């Protein structure tokens, strides 16, 4: 017979695991990397303490936004296979526990961005939290306008990193924002295409053209993706990076664009899945290339 005392460590471990899942670690880590990328690209000499700080700020504010999303969609998550085992739908965490965790993360992230860096970076971070948690989330059941709104907080991280380092806006953080902004559309819509059956159960309407998985939707995805090709060359023109990374970015943009042509020729779930994985690969490769070729 196992005593209550022996069960306590197991209970704590399960709670910690549930809090970890609530963060959506991979998504938050991607945002943290993008923020560190923007910061590192802006400075002449990298201060690793600052890199860690901006990464933590981005990670925590994204985690808090993800928690708001899950609190608001708790009942909807129960309807979808991909989300029904999350901490809130399963009852492993209560809404109150999630809310407290969200507030703690938000306070820490705001302290880092506002105090350790500057108020401009802090305001951008806070805006991204509000847009994602309180505007994008409810719009997912309204229509594809949610993807447009969600593209803003999704594209802020490298801009936040640059502004945190320089304390000013300009063309440089603008082009970093633009690349990630246009990337959001094929990325979001590829996911929505693959998860369409699940999304329909929850009433999410994220695909364009009345939610049809057809040539018109693939064409719309292509129209946004095509902007990535010239945008990839602009950092070189602004003397942010060298010509080698510009060529890498343009090539990655062309390859990503070719996936939309394939989706147009074969508008199937398999082609959309390939494009979804392509979107996961595109962004880190381009950002790492920019960093390695920094002038």
Cα separation, 176 vs 159, in Å, equals 6
pLDDT at residue 170 in the model: 93
With a CB cutoff of 8 Å and minimum separation 6, the contacts of 142 are: 205
Nearest to 91 by CA among 104, 102, 81, 78: 78
Cα separation, 215 vs 213, in Å, equals 7
pLDDT at residue 259 in the model: 96
pLDDT at residue 7 in the model: 54
Cα separation, 257 vs 53, in Å, equals 35
Residue holding tokens 């309807």?
Answer: 79
Is the entire prediction scored with pTM above 0.85?
yes
Nearest to 80 by CA among 71, 89, 67, 92: 89
pLDDT in tens, 91-137: 999 999 999 999 999 999 999 999 999 999 999 999 999 999 999 99
Structure tokens given for 283: 């962004």
End-to-end Cα separation, the chain, in angstroms:
66
Cα separation, 107 vs 178, in Å, equals 28
pLDDT at residue 1 in the model: 43
With a CB cutoff of 8 Å and minimum separation 6, the contacts of 124 are: 113, 156, 159, 160, 163
pLDDT at residue 10 in the model: 66
Asked if 193 and 207 count as a contact pair (C-beta separation under 8 A), the reply is yes
> Distance of alpha carbon 247 from its chain centroid, rounded?
25
Mean pLDDT computed over every residue of the chain = 93
pLDDT at residue 134 in the model: 96
Asked if 260 and 221 count as a contact pair (C-beta separation under 8 A), the reply is yes
pLDDT at residue 209 in the model: 85
Q: Which residues of the chain have pLDDT under 70?
A: 1-10, 295
């Amino acid at each position: 017979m196992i005593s209550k005392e022996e069960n306590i460590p197991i209970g704590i471990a399960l709670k910690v695991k549930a809090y970890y899942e609530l963060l959506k670690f991979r998504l938050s880590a991607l945002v943290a990397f993008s923020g560190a990328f923007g910061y590192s690209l802006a400075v002449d000499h990298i201060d690793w303490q600052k890199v860690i700080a901006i990464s933590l700020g981005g990670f925590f504010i994204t985690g808090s936004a993800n928690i708001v999303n899950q609190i608001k969609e708790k009942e909807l998550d129960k309807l979808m296979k991909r989300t029904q085992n999350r901490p809130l739908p399963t009852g492993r965490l209560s809404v109150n526990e999630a809310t407290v965790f969200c507030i703690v993360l938000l306070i820490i992230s705001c302290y880092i961005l506002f105090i350790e860096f500057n108020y401009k970076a802090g305001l951008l971070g806070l805006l991204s939290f509000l847009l994602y948690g309180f505007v994008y989330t409810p719009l997912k059941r309204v229509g594809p306008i949610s993807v447009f709104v969600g593209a803003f907080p999704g594209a802020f991280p490298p801009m936040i990193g640059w502004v945190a380092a320089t304390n000013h806006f300009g063309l440089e953080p603008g082009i970093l924002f633009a690349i990630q902004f246009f990337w959001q559309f094929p990325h979001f819509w590829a996911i929505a295409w693959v998860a369409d059956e699940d999304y329909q159960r929850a009433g999410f309407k994220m695909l364009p053209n009345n939610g049809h998985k057809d040539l018109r939707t693939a064409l719309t995805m292509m129209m946004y993706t095509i902007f990535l090709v010239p945008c990839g060359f602009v950092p070189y023109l602004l003397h942010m990076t060298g010509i080698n990374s510009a060529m890498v970015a343009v090539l990655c943009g062309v390859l990503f664009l070719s996936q939309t042509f394939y989706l147009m020729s074969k508008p199937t779930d398999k082609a959309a899945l390939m494009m979804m994985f392509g979107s996961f690969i595109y962004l880190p490769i381009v950002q790492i290339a920019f960093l390695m070729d920094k002038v």
